């Protein structure tokens, strides 16, 4: 990819990922979302269990593995769908920086 194309891609992604960067500023901002969303929506565990066809201990283990960061994307997607939600994830630079800022930092570092 040429430098100009990369720059345009970073600009587009920085715009699209704006709100995710804000969330990324917080330490562990996405841990515990399954349980938090389930409680906030008032979705009974029985409803989720029926939709993903697992027993209560499996749902508990899924929520625990999400807290530990060991849950698979497929399982996270399944539980989100069972709550009538959509899984959306992002990859953002640390500390809320933009991709452009990170790319500039990498360029300066490679010249040293």
- Report the alpha-carbon distance of residue 97 to residue 76 in Å, rounded: 27
**For tokens 């009538």, what's the residue?**
84
- Do residues 25 and 96 touch, judged by C-beta distance below 8 A? yes
SS3 state at 87? coil
Q: What residue segments make up the domains of the chain, in order of their start?
A: 3-111
Query: Which residue pairs from 89-92 have beta carbons closer than 8 angstroms and sit at least 24 positions apart in sequence?
Result: 90/17, 90/20, 90/24, 92/17, 92/20, 92/21, 92/24
pTM for this entry: 0.76
- pLDDT tens for 9-47 read 999 999 999 888 887 777 766 778 899 999 999 999 999
pLDDT tens for each residue of 45-71: 999 999 999 999 999 999 999 999 899
């Amino acid at each position: 990819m040429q430098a100009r194309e990369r720059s345009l891609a970073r600009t587009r992604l920085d715009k699209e990922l704006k709100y995710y960067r804000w969330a990324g500023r917080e330490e562990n901002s996405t841990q515990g979302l399954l349980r938090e969303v389930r409680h906030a929506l008032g979705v009974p565990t029985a409803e989720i269990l029926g939709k993903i066809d697992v027993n209560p201990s499996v749902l508990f283990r899924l929520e625990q593995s999400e807290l530990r960061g060991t849950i698979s994307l497929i399982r996270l997607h399944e539980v989100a769908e069972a709550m009538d939600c959509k899984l959306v994830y992002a990859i953002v630079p640390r500390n809320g920086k933009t991709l452009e800022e990170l790319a500039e930092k990498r360029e300066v570092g490679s010249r040293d």
